[in-house]
Amino acid sequence: MSTRHQRSSSGAAALISARGLNKSYGVTEALRGASLDLHAGEILAVTGASGSGKSTLLHCLSGIVRPDAGTVMYDGEELGGLPEDRLSVLRRDDFGVVFQFGQLIPELTALDNVALPLLLAGTRRGEANERAGEWLERFGVRGQAALRPGGMSGGQSQRVALARALVTGPRAVFADEPTGALDALSGEQVMTALVHTARETSTAVLLITHDAQIAAYADREVTLRDGAVGSGPAEAVGPEAARREN
């Protein structure tokens, strides 16, 4: 039995569990009864055609958007029943989010972008900068610490965005097409860094992608079709997982 199947069928309680999610924008149904589980330390790829509801699913699971119906449970708490201030704390401390274009703050340097979540949580400036620098080093962009986003390449900016998402030690990272704006080499470098760090820290990762090569880095893959979740290709094991199993 593969490592992928051992992790997903171990019987351990899911870190995040969604059931029957519905979400509409006007007359457009983005989600129609979507359900899935994400376990601690698991990298789960959600694939599907453009417009299938992938980003909406990520937004619901991470507490950015409230579904119209259905439940999202995180570590025993139902996100839909939490006040906005509690959701803000979860998004700051427990969840890390990476978007396709990084969404770094253009006026801030790479170091300041990564340190920002720590400063918002009350960490002292010196400690925040030290930890931010360590994460920039981990992702190979310490040399860009003083640069603003406009002075970095796409791959460098995305690695800074990954460092920002992981600097607080989140239990789950939500990555929405994190390599969609990158060339193949930069995309591979970003995914290698993300997977390596997730393995090292036992962080759960929900990876939204339409690219089969990117999905192959995951332990498990599901496909979103017309707002509902179905099974993905069997044994979708990426390079890191493949090396573990050999």
pLDDT for the residue numbered 186: 86
- 235 in any annotated domain: yes
Parallel, antiparallel or unpaired: strands 204-208 and 172-176: parallel
Greatest mean pLDDT among 14-28, 98-112, 175-189: 14-28
The rounded distance, in Å, linking the Cα atoms of 166 and 201 is: 10
- 64 in any annotated domain: yes
pLDDT for the residue numbered 187: 87
pLDDT band of residue 11 (cuts 50, 70, 90) is low
Of 75-79, 99-103, 211-215, the least confident: 99-103
- If one counts the domains in the chain, the total is 1
- 223 in any annotated domain: yes
The rounded distance, in Å, linking the Cα atoms of 119 and 43 is: 28
Of 4-13, 15-24, 108-117, the least confident: 4-13
Query: How large is the average pLDDT for residues 40-67?
Result: 93
pLDDT for the residue numbered 231: 56
Digit-coded pLDDT (tens) for 60-73: 999 999 999 999 99
The rounded distance, in Å, linking the Cα atoms of 108 and 96 is: 19
- 77 in any annotated domain: yes
pLDDT band of residue 4 (cuts 50, 70, 90) is very low
- 229 in any annotated domain: yes
Parallel, antiparallel or unpaired: strands 28-38 and 172-176: unpaired
pLDDT band of residue 129 (cuts 50, 70, 90) is very high
pLDDT for the residue numbered 236: 36
pLDDT for the residue numbered 233: 45
SS3 assignment, position 41? coil
- 203 in any annotated domain: no
Parallel, antiparallel or unpaired: strands 43-47 and 220-225: parallel
pLDDT for the residue numbered 243: 38
Digit-coded pLDDT (tens) for 173-221: 999 998 888 888 888 888 998 999 899 989 999 999 988 999 999 999 9
- 80 in any annotated domain: yes
Q: Are 54 and 224 in contact (CB under 8 A)?
A: yes
Provide the residue range defining the domain that includes 241: 1-94+212-246
- 45 in any annotated domain: yes
Is it the case that residue 9 has pLDDT exceeding 90?
no
Task: Please give the C-alpha separations between residue 33 and each of 9, 63, 67, 175, in angstroms, as whole numbers.
Answer: 22, 17, 10, 22
Task: Please give the C-alpha separations between residue 166 and each of 55, 151, 181, 233, 234, in angstroms, as whole numbers.
Answer: 20, 22, 20, 28, 29
List the CATH number of the domain containing 84.
3.40.50.300
